[in-house]
Amino acid sequence: MNAPLNTTALREQLYKDMSPLNLTPLWEVLHALVPPQPASPCVAALWKYEQVRPFLMRSGEAITAEEAVRRVLILENPALRGQSAITQSLYAGLQLILPGEVAPSHRHTQSALRFIVEGHGAYTSVDGERTTMHPGDFIITPSWTWHDHGSEAQGPVVWLDGLDIPMLRFFDAGFAENGDAKSQPVSRAEGASFARYGHNMAPVRHDAPFGATSPIFSYPYARSREALDTLERDAPIDAWDGVKLRYVNPQNGGSPMPTMATFMQKLPAGFVGKAWRQTDGAVYSVVEGQGEVDIEHAGVRHTFPLTPRDHFVVPSWHTARLRSTSGCVLFSYSDRPVHQALGIHKEERLS
Ligand code: GTQ
């Protein structure tokens, strides 16, 4: 500001004198409070699995799943260190469970998604029903449902945890409880929820067992992959996304969880995507194949090489584009349902 000295002094004295009353002038911060466009403090980042995996395995030697309650390495946005957040609203972590271990039962108001990254045969139990994990499966833990994880597998099992932890922290709406037993009793056959809700059919008389959250716990990879393959052969390829589908809550067609949307997409071999940006920052897990992503913001550009089990984040309003010479499958999640509920979701598809 180019105010004359006496004005500057007048203002500074005002700020100083009113500060004890917890008063502060809007005009000094208005531009930052109401920015012309999103100015996320987050940065684009990549976690190569080959670099992360040794630390996951070391964590398996350092602490048991039971002692840790959840043995997870948090993927922290480099610009938000110490905040346990990958974007301002979302949390991401890689959870390890070893043969014979149990991550004890608890429940919390935070919603969780699990995306299986490595290994077969661990399970998660939600509300009395077990779901066996396979790579590429997308599994849900609805808000306030009891859940524990265990493994009768041969080797380590690793999955991506996506939670709305920072969002609930923002709203100061987090509650949590520990269960009485290490593992909750199984009260329903595995696959019951999928049989009821996963076949384009639904029970004749039912209400929503988990409120705003999908009644399907597990969306198996085999089904998602089959859909993408069929569409890649027969449907037009989207110039930005390749072939991309969103997971749905079959009861209302909306996102599987009220706070998080999830997606799976296939970039066909030879795909050179166009650039886009949107207000919902997104976290990606590379499922199969190879590719590259460019992420650009405020004159800073990253190009990340993508191979299976890598993770990366595209923050809000960063321009991104995807490429693949040999084909690539990507899972992703974002806070889009919240943007849409508030009427503030915005996407620009650049040409
Ligand atoms: O599995 O319940 O990565 O409560 C963070 C918090 C996983 C879980 C996380 C959790 C969980």
Is there a contact between 111 and 258 (Cβ–Cβ < 8 Å)?
A: yes
Atom of ligand 1 nearest to the CA of 110: 4
Q: Does an H or E element contain 102, and which?
A: strand 102-108
pLDDT along the chain (351 residues), means of 10: 80 98 98 96 98 98 96 98 98 98 96 97 94 97 96 95 98 96 91 94 89 96 98 94 98 97 98 98 98 97 98 98 98 98 98 90
* Predicted local confidence at residue 212, as pLDDT: 94
* Predicted local confidence at residue 190, as pLDDT: 94
d(CA 4, CA 6): 6
d(CA 138, CA 126): 14
* Predicted local confidence at residue 235, as pLDDT: 80
Report, in this order, helix, strand and coil percent for the chain, each rounded to 5. 25, 35, 45
Q: Is the CB of 105 under 6 A from ligand 1?
A: no
pTM: 0.96
Residue 166's SS3 state is helix
For every residue of 35-92, DSSP letters joined together read -SS---S---EEE-HHHHHHHHHHHHHH--HHHHSS-EEE---GGGTTS--SSSS-EE
Pick from 66, 69, 72, 157 the residue to mutate for probing ligand 1's pocket: most ligand atoms within 8 Å of its CB: 72
Atom of ligand 1 nearest to the CA of 106: 2
* Predicted local confidence at residue 207, as pLDDT: 80
Atom of ligand 1 nearest to the CA of 124: 1
* Predicted local confidence at residue 1, as pLDDT: 54
Q: Whose CA is nearest to atom 9 of ligand 1?
A: 161
* Predicted local confidence at residue 181, as pLDDT: 86
Q: Is the CB of 65 under 6 A from ligand 1?
A: no
Tell me the CATH class for 45-349: mainly beta
Is there a contact between 326 and 253 (Cβ–Cβ < 8 Å)?
A: no
d(CA 160, CA 92): 7
* Predicted local confidence at residue 2, as pLDDT: 63
